[in-house]
Amino acid sequence: MIRQLKKRWLVFGLICGLAQVASATDPGKGDWPMFGGRPDRNFVNLKEKVPATFDVKSGENVRWSVDLGTKAYGGPTVGDGKVYIGTNNQNPRDPSIKGDKGVMMAFDEKSGKFLWQLVFDKLPAGRVQDWPEEGICSSATIEGDKIYFVNNRCEVVCADANGDSANPGKGKVLWTYDMIGNDQVFPHNLAVCSPLVIGDKIFVVTANGVDEEHINIPSPQAPSFICLSKADGKLVWKNNLPTQSLVEAKKAGGAVSAVGLVNQGKLAMHGQWSNPVYAEPNGKPMVIFPGGDGWIYAFKPDNGDLLWKFDCNPKEAFYVLGPRATRNDFIGTPVVYENKLYIGVGQDPEHKEGVGHLWCIDITKTPTNADKDLSPAAKKAGDKMESILDPKAPENKDSGLVWHYGGPTKFGADRIYYFGRSMSTCAIADGLLYTSDLGGFVYCFDAKTGERYWEFETNAAIWGSPYIVDGRVMIGTDDGVLFVFKHTKEENEPEELEMGGKVRATPAAANGTLFILTESKTKLYAVSEGK
């Protein structure tokens, strides 16, 4: 049983040659057109009204539900009367299409009627690049009559939102950008990024990573982050910072230790599966990339020039496969709120639970050093460097550190760490930050100071993110329960709604309807009042 422990959507301007979009903390009523709703990726919708209760078994307040494949991780996006979801082909819509595939589906928002699908073959390299039966994990980004997503073949896809009028039930691809063919990207396990569309450009994390031995990076020269033209999918700029050090070391000659570079925070550890974010702190446009080396990077959107970087691992952290490692990268997506960036670190859930860190970074800071590094200061501790994580320390006056929570606890504590590896994207509203870790703990913090107001143990793994809507905070677990908390700094006992399958994707609210995805019995539910 559950036990409690302790308890500006669009503003347009022409800056640097881009028609920029200024993100807001609350999209208000209307569509939910991308992962996180808006370019700041904050899972918040305070103005939508959704049912206080619903029951998927009896059908109370369930407008419609549809069957998907057996996996659907990315979560729904909603725009212009349609709902889009990536899945696999284990429950074929078209019986003539057989076998394991990646599938992007479109449904009518009001009725749940199936409209069309795009189907993609698996990559020939197998599970190292395109894991079996995972389907498409990218959430589609909707803009006008087009959608953009990354398929299982490591291609950025632009598709017609209306499908193919000449072939009912089928989608229509307008252009693709092949990250393997064009840039020699080696996606580890799967390419999953949900594209960020800003003005006339698209930004994508490529998933470039390690091979099946989990040590070597086959393609360190390949980009980890790319910028494409929205009109035709042509490359504008690219960057390989998380693997660039390996390229440089090989050029210098001599023995190169990938493990050594990883543990210096200079090389991607595993894969790269997070999503980019856009912000304009003090009117300064930047696109923010969470790297597979555990660093956050900010670039000028028009040309890819580095603005700043921040190391989200203490200098003493180390990386090995499995739960012992204390160095992490990113599964969750950064969130920007009131000119600060919030991110929790984590790893592939196959690496199990482990020590994690939650960071608040001031993105208005301009670096004063040649490396453009806003990371916390470090001091010598024996033969190793150790991070100084006190934001008030004199050594950190020029860093971007606002606050930090996490790391190992002292001997005798209930848990061996304060905050575990996380797959969650933070949700922030009214100065309150909600997040979770893989071990099943849900947290509420003061977003400004980092003070922890409460935590709650669900006793089940959490893969998704909290979602703030209509005065409540929702988050699902692997036990198939959707926990619904009050949006308050006061600890409170959540309502528990049985969903009939694992809830690994984050809910989304649009136009008075709450969309919830379940796995195992993989369904997409549309919940609205009086249905």
Given this model, what pLDDT does residue 424 score? Answer: 98
Please list the residues that pair with 483 across neighbouring strands.
475, 496
Do residues 402 and 340 make contact, with C-beta atoms less than 8 angstroms apart?
A: yes
User: What per-residue confidence (pLDDT) applies to 27?
Assistant: 65
In the chain the first and final C-alpha atoms are separated, in Å, by 31
CATH topology classification for 12-527: Methanol Dehydrogenase; Chain A (2.140.10)
- Judged against a pLDDT cut of 50, whether residue 5 lies above it is answered with no
Report whether 304 contacts 298 (CB < 8 A).
no
19 pLDDT above the threshold of 60? no
What was the pLDDT predicted at 253? Answer: 83
What integer is the mean pLDDT of 460-467? 98
Mean pLDDT for the stretch of residues 380-399: 94
Q: Which of 302, 292, 285 is nearest to 346 (CA)?
A: 292
The DSSP code for 99 is: S
How much is the pLDDT for 52?
85
Looking at residue 14, what is its pLDDT? Answer: 31
Per-residue pLDDT of 398-440, as tens digits, reads 999 999 999 999 877 788 999 999 999 999 999 999 999 999 9
What number of other Cβ atoms are within 10 A of residue 204's Cβ?
28
CB 331 within 8 Å of CB 423: yes
Give the range among 195-199, 254-258, 284-288, 435-439 with minimum mean pLDDT.
Answer: 254-258
Share of the chain above pLDDT 70, in %: 94
The pLDDT assigned to 47 comes to 87
Domain ranges of the chain: 12-527
Q: What's the pLDDT tens digit per position in 34-50?
A: 999 999 999 999 889 99
State the DSSP string of 495-516: EEEE-SSB--SPPEEETTEEEE
Mean pLDDT of the chain: 93
Residue 170 confidence (pLDDT) above 90: yes
What are the backbone dihedrals phi and psi of residue 37, each rounded to the nearest 5 degrees, phi first? 85, -45
> How high is the pLDDT of residue 98?
95
What percentage of residues in the chain have a pLDDT greater than 90?
A: 86
The region, left, alpha or beta by phi > 0 then psi within -120 to 50, assigned to residue 183 is alpha
The band of 6, judged by pLDDT with boundaries at 50, 70 and 90, is: very low
* Range 355-379 average pLDDT: 97
- Cα angle at 175 between 169 and 179, to 5 degrees? 115
> How many helices (DSSP H) and strands (DSSP E) are in the chain?
3, 38
72-122 pLDDT, tens per residue?
998 999 999 999 999 999 999 999 999 999 999 999 999 999 999 999 999
Beta bridge partners of 185: none
pLDDT band for position 250 (50/70/90)?
confident
Question: What pLDDT score was predicted for residue 521?
Answer: 76
Asked whether the predicted pLDDT for residue 22 surpasses 50, the reply is no
For the chain, the farthest-separated pair of C-alpha atoms sits apart, in whole angstroms, at: 70
How far out from the chain centre does Cα 186 lie? 20
d(CA 468, CA 1): 24
Above 60 in pLDDT, residue 295? yes
Burial class (CB in 10 A: 0-12, 13-18, 19+), 501: middle
Q: How far apart are CA 220 and CA 242, in angstroms?
A: 9
For 203-235, what is the HEC assignment? EEECCECCCCCCCCCCCCCCCCEEEEECCCCCE
Reported pTM:
0.94
Q: 4 pLDDT exceeds 60?
A: no
Cα 238 from Cα 447, distance rounded (Å): 33
Q: Which residue has the tokens 């606890």?
A: 409
Residue 508 tokens, joined? 């989304």
Residue 96 to residue 86: CA distance in whole angstroms:
19
Note the pLDDT of residue 411. 78
Three-class DSSP category at 443: strand
Length of the chain: 531
Q: Does 20 score more than 60 pLDDT?
A: no
Residue 369 DSSP SS3: coil
pLDDT tens across 175-198, in order?
A: 999 999 999 999 999 999 999 999
Task: List CB contacts of 382: < 8 A, sequence separation 6 or more.
Answer: none
Q: Closest by alpha carbon to 311, among 240, 379, 359, 370? A: 359
Outline where DSSP puts E strands in 46-168. Answer: 62-67, 77-79, 82-88, 102-108, 114-120, 141-143, 146-150, 155-160
Q: How far apart, in whole angstroms, are the C-alpha atoms of residue 365 and residue 362?
A: 6
